[in-house]
Amino acid sequence: MITLKYLSAASYMNKQISISILILFIFSFSPSKSQENEKNETIKTPKSFRILGETEGDLDKDEIPEKVIVYDTEKNTDFGTERQIYIYKKNNDRWELWKKSVGAILPSEHGGMMGDPFEGISIERNCIVISHFGGSRQKWNYTHRFRYQNGAFELIGATVNFGSPCDYFFIFDYNLSNGKIHYEKETEDCENESSKIEKEEMIRKFETLPAMNGFYPGNNQLILAKSERTIYY
């Protein structure tokens, strides 16, 4: 009788162990919540594209961050490969493509001797900010700011730095929202250790601001009223 009780208890214990092992086996193949969230938040890179840069921040002032990714498309142009900007919004914990832009990021070989001109992308004060750099002896730097308004991302600011040592440098800053333009040029004479500074301000407003989609940095010109200099931004 004692032997039967002992065997019954042992059988019960073996059964419980088997059930525990089965539960552990099932859970080991079930994705955890964190794994599911990670899967939901993953953005699939388009075929043949590669990521050059990305950033997150609130672009439409709804206090929910968007994600912006710059892709190299491997599509050839006259100045290297084309770049595109994809902007994603969250929908039920999943990233969905919201806007797409071609042109605002310069092609891969547009930087001249300096190589790839793309420096970076960020989100500042609800705006997309894009930076480029390039040139040879004369270097140039572009910073463009785009804000979401009127159902699209529009150019609201452009800053250009251009020049070379012992020659001249200028800075051109254009606030397209209010039309204010500031231009400052410094001519440098290294041999005589002297320099001369010129400044100019004016207002030039657009009826419709340039859209980010189709915008080409450095391919937009403006003639200053006083000096009649042509600036490309």
Does residue 221 lie in a domain region? yes
Does residue 12 lie in a domain region? no
Going by pLDDT thresholds of 50, 70 and 90, the confidence category of residue 9 is very low
Q: Reduce the DSSP state of residue 118 to 3 states and report it.
A: strand
- CA 120 – CA 123 distance, rounded (Å): 11
- Express each pLDDT in 55-77 by its tens digit: 999 999 999 999 999 999 999 99
- CA 133 – CA 144 distance, rounded (Å): 12
- CA–chain centroid gap for 221, Å, is 24
Domain range enclosing 153 = 51-232
CA distances from 153 to 125, 135, 177, 221 (A): 14, 28, 13, 20
Q: What is the pLDDT of residue 41?
A: 64
**Residue 21 in this model has a pLDDT that exceeds 60:** no
- Express each pLDDT in 202-220 by its tens digit: 999 999 999 999 999 999 9
Count of domains in the chain?
Answer: 1
Does residue 103 lie in a domain region? yes
| pTM tops 0.75 | yes
- Six token digits for residue 64: 């929910």
CA distances from 105 to 2, 29, 112, 208 (A): 84, 43, 15, 21
- Express each pLDDT in 150-167 by its tens digit: 999 999 999 999 999 999
Does residue 98 lie in a domain region? yes
- Report residue 13: phi and psi, to 5°: -65, -40
Does residue 41 lie in a domain region? no
- Report residue 7: phi and psi, to 5°: -65, -40
Does residue 40 lie in a domain region? no
Does residue 31 lie in a domain region? no
Does residue 44 lie in a domain region? no
